[in-house]
Amino acid sequence: MKPDLLLLSGLMCDDTIWMKVMPGLARHARIMTIDFSGFDEIGAMAERVLDAAPDRFSLAGHSMGARVALEVYRRAPQRITRIALLSTGVHPVKSGESHSRQALVDLAYQHGMVAVVEHWLPPMLLPKHAQNAAFIEPLREMVLRMTPDILARQIKALLNRKDASPQLAAINCPTLVGVGRQDAWSPVTQHEFITSRVTGSHLKIFEDSGHMAPFEASLQAQNALLDWLKLESA
């Protein structure tokens, strides 16, 4: 029987971020994608996942979705067979972060989501990807489906997050940590830190990729996730 795999999307993301890896993963797992457009608190996002999930499941999160995945694990470790943390961090709010995130919310309300796409999306990507209009069109459409209210709620959740680093040592299931080599938002060093704190975890660096690694480096991400799905649970 195929294992259940939940894929958790990040800030202003829906299942588009997973669209390129899902066909390959679906041959080996029953997949459910979850986004968090209606939520403004990490804990509530985690409860949404636990309410939707089967009794036992594998869990992969991207960006904010990986922070949610860690909170899911903290609340119900016995239900999770393995966890993958992609393009993320565990640190609390940094100096200046509140101002920059609020500026993005203000931009959304004042000038609309088109302005948000133009300002926010290119720095999230490898430059050659950002300059390829056909390549990024699905990501542009994804962000344009969001609203200023959705963005404001998710930013509120991120600005009220806790330091998740103390819980890393408690993770005792197969753990994949993945990041794009050129991720300027959540750099490799953050993922090296996570890997150093989770016993037996595996770090995978996706070449030629920015922050949107499951989309930008889809084959590498898919293969890493498939290898992770084959790992035996503790």
Read off the tokens for 60.
Answer: 């992969």
User: Is 234 contained in some domain?
Assistant: no
User: Is 201 contained in some domain?
Assistant: yes
In a shared domain, residues 193 and 221 = yes
In a shared domain, residues 166 and 62 = yes
Q: What is the mean pLDDT of residues 123-131?
A: 97
Tell me the average pLDDT of the chain. 97
In a shared domain, residues 75 and 180 = yes
User: Is 193 contained in some domain?
Assistant: yes
- Of 229, 212, 223, 3, the C-alpha closest to 88 is 212
In a shared domain, residues 150 and 172 = no
The number of domains in the chain is: 2
User: Is 114 contained in some domain?
Assistant: yes
In a shared domain, residues 104 and 88 = no
In a shared domain, residues 19 and 80 = yes
In a shared domain, residues 75 and 177 = yes
User: Is 195 contained in some domain?
Assistant: yes
The answer on pLDDT for 234 being more than 70 is: no
In a shared domain, residues 89 and 170 = yes
In a shared domain, residues 222 and 171 = yes
**Which tens digits make up the pLDDT trace of 97-120?**
999 999 999 999 999 999 999 999
From 113, 140, 155, the end of a domain falls on: 155
In a shared domain, residues 169 and 180 = yes
Assign 150 a pLDDT band (cuts: 50, 70, 90): very high
SS (H, E, C) the chain: CCCEEEEECCCCCCHHHHCCCHHHHHCCCEEEEECCCCCCCHHHHHHHHHHHCCCCEEEEEECHHHHHHHHHHHHCHHHEEEEEEECCCCCCCCCCHHHHHHHHHHHHHHHCHHHHHHHHHHHHCCHHHHCCHHHHHHHHHHHHCCCHHHHHHHHHHHHCCCCCHHHHHHCCCCEEEEEECCCCCCCHHHHHHHHHHCCCCEEEEECCCCCCHHHHCHHHHHHHHHHHHCCCCC
Assign 231 a pLDDT band (cuts: 50, 70, 90): confident
- The pLDDT score that the predictor gives to residue 203 is 98
For tokens 């480096």, what's the residue?
Answer: 217
- Determine how many CB atoms are found less than 10 A away from the CB of residue 123: 12
For tokens 């259940």, what's the residue?
Answer: 4
- The pLDDT score that the predictor gives to residue 233 is 56
- The pLDDT score that the predictor gives to residue 62 is 98
From 115, 133, 155, the end of a domain falls on: 155
From 138, 155, 172, the end of a domain falls on: 155
In a shared domain, residues 15 and 113 = no
* CATH number of the domain that residue 63 is part of: 3.40.50.1820
User: Percent of the chain, pLDDT > 70?
Assistant: 99
User: Burial, 3: exposed, middle or buried (Cβ in 10 Å; 0-12, 13-18, 19+)?
Assistant: middle
Backbone angles phi, psi at 19, to 5 degrees: -60, -30
User: Percent of the chain, pLDDT > 90?
Assistant: 97
**Which tens digits make up the pLDDT trace of 188-227?**
999 999 999 999 999 999 999 999 999 999 999 999 999 9
Domain region containing 172:
4-94+162-229
List Cβ neighbours of 21 (8 Å cut-off, separation of 6 or more): 214, 218, 221, 222, 225
Q: What is the mean pLDDT of residues 62-84?
A: 98
In a shared domain, residues 172 and 149 = no
